[in-house]
Structure 1
Amino acid sequence: MNGKKLRIGVPVNQGFEELIKLQCDPQTNATIATGFCIDVFNAAIDGLLSTELYEFIPFEDSNGEPAGNYNDLVYQNYDVVVGDTTITANRSLYVDFTMPYTDLALGTITRVDNKNMWIFLKPLDSNLWLRSAAFFILTGFVVWLIKYPVNEEFQGSAAQQMGMIFWFSISTLVFAHREKLLSNLSRFTITIWVFVVLISTSSYTATLSSMMTVQQIQLTSKESYIGYQSGFLVKRDIVSNLNFEDIKLMQYSSLEEYADALSKGIKNGGVVAIIDEIPYIKIFLARYSQDYAMIASESKTNGFGFVFRKGSPLVPEISRAIMKLRVERKLMMMEKAWFNSKSSFMSQQDAPSSPSKNPNALNLDNFRGLFLISGICSALALVISLINFLCEKWNVMKYYFVGIVRGKLVHKVRYLLCRSRNMIVETNSR
């Protein structure tokens, strides 16, 4: 150390004070740095250097504004750079990074859209709603045809029979039908239909839950405006990896601007989503978790790390200390202390995987196979029922037709006999 203090460069991050917050001590005129990044650094270097052997130097101009971007900060002649500095391959050519102490991903946040009074209709498209209603009525009609001749519950006036068809089919939706099904054909039909209803309702519930959790967006849509944090790194990754046009990107620099842009939406000059690194998103959700949610994350960054000069002997020591803090879950405790959001403290390994896209409304193609099976089974049951009915009534119909034919023959014979008798009487008279 040659009796000199380590000069630690600190970025002036005015929009994310949970990560870095700088204050001036009025007595000593020294810079006091606080925040999550500072706590991690102090915990990692504890035991290696005392606080008297290093000082924090803000990277700012005479007006208190940032003196440049993060690349400028990294390439300055500081002994260490502590802050929300992302590890990149290009930067590592000139400086040494410790191992990352944050999540290694970009995330997407969007506004929760659960105020739509008709959201319960969105899980299914219009064609699927109409096809489902048609099959409900068709199934009730098939069961009525099968049970009408033998079950008094399916008989009555025309209005009662129509009501029974609709009631019986709809009641299967909640498995509340009480009518007795004595025929094996009707049981077979209802068993297949209940299976279709079970799969449909499960899919509907899952899709509705997803839609009520986050707003549907398509990140590859040319109609969507996407926000990002002011800076070089995130914009480069969005443009190169997510195929957005520059004209569709909006730049913001604080949490308040994030919330304002998302709340406005596209129609009012806002954005449909914000893409940023996970630590910034955790801070945002800690403040606005009720109105917004993270819907996707992709491993496109290397996380935050501390910057040292090339060949610094402190790099492996600090990296080992960071690994120990992670294993002991002290990093999570520091996040909890600064971000104040329980839902934000899960690591990438513990957090459930998020889909890259929200589920769209279910359409007819998703259930074409189920409807095909139900239709074939209903038609088969109806044909077998008709054959059974004809077989049962065949004897009655046979005797009926035989009786008609026999009656006509007897009547004809009698007529001929009477006519012959009359002719004989007339001949004798003559």
Structure 2
Amino acid sequence: MLHYNKIRQIIVSLYVVCFFVGMSFSEEASAQQTLNLDYFINVARSNNPILNDYSNQAFILKIDSLKLKSDYGFKLDGVVDATYSPVVNKWGYDITLSNAQSVTGIVKLSKEIIGKGNINSRKESYGLGIQQLVNESQITVQSLNRAITEQYINTYASQQQYQVISEVVHLLEQEDDVLSKLTQKATFKQTDYLSFKVTLQQNILTLKQCYAEWKNEYALLNYLSGIVNPDIQNIDPPTLNEDRFVPFEESIYAQKSNIDSLKLTNEAKIINYNYKPRLSAYADAGYSSTFAIAPYKNLGWSAGVSLSIPIYDGNKKKMQLRQNKLSQDTRARYSEFTRKQYEQQILQLQDQIMQYNQIIQVSNEQMVYAKTLIEANLKQLPTGDVKVVDFIFSINSYLNLKSGLIKYETNLYTLRNYLHNLIIQ
């Protein structure tokens, strides 16, 4: 019996090594076959229709900018006009006005003369519109990154929980083989073995539940990323190990405020330009005749200029500039409020991250004692020096501590995700 117990202790030691060291080894061995966070983020970006919409809108604005250049460039038009106004029994249009009949066929060249500052301001409005779309696209990307990362974290937590329960079940199954033989030889109480068996079955059921949860979380991750794939594959830990953040002055919200300010300033310039005198010039050449006198000589050309000077518009310009000023004030207030929210969120998240780092450190220290207790119980369980209820308690304590640690690490990852991808609601 002493010889058997000695062999038993050696076997138990091997099980312990497989349980506590094998998990980290298996994760490293399968690292080449796992997917990482960047993979899902990149796929989600490529599949997102909103980002494609922003890209198309920006291209449309570029085309509008080119159209603006055409609007203020030279225009060449061909004009053909033929009229006939009959007079019957002295009834009809006054012939001095209608010329009775006429034919006109000319080519007209025209151009509105506009100042360089005016045209540049109008072009700038399209450029700022494109910058706004780029900024909105960046906000969408950041929101998408945050959502994908959050679901990735939840999926990774479910994967970890499944792996822990799987290792515990594997250890209990190995132990079950030994205890079953000892029970058959009456060296181990049958009631204790039944208690152990119940614990094993409970953990097998928990394992199935964990697998179902892991599969659901993984399916949701695929759904958010636009991936159609029913298979489950191990994923790497989230790459969120640094408590970094972007200062407000460099954030997308500061960029948005700056672009909005530039756009409003440019709109004020355009309002002022709209009330400046407008000059246009034209020239035409062709044929125009009433056929009254020498119609074969009615080939010719003409040129002219047109000047439009705004005089009074019912104070519309003043009201438009007032509206623009109010919009600038509103933007400035929103920007300041957003800055305060942004900085407050950073301080709050940093404080929570510090607390969870401390909790995780304590939990890791407790895990050392929980592992040591299981090792000791596994060695003494077959000899009867440890009761089955104490062994079950040590297993449950380990699972509770490990589950708690996974939860704390998940919360820490989530807080870092919020810090990396800070969103102002």
- TM-score over 0.5 for the pair: no
TM-score class normalised by the smaller sequence? under 0.3
Identify, as 1 or 2, the structure richer in helix: 2
TM-score, length basis structure 2? 0.26
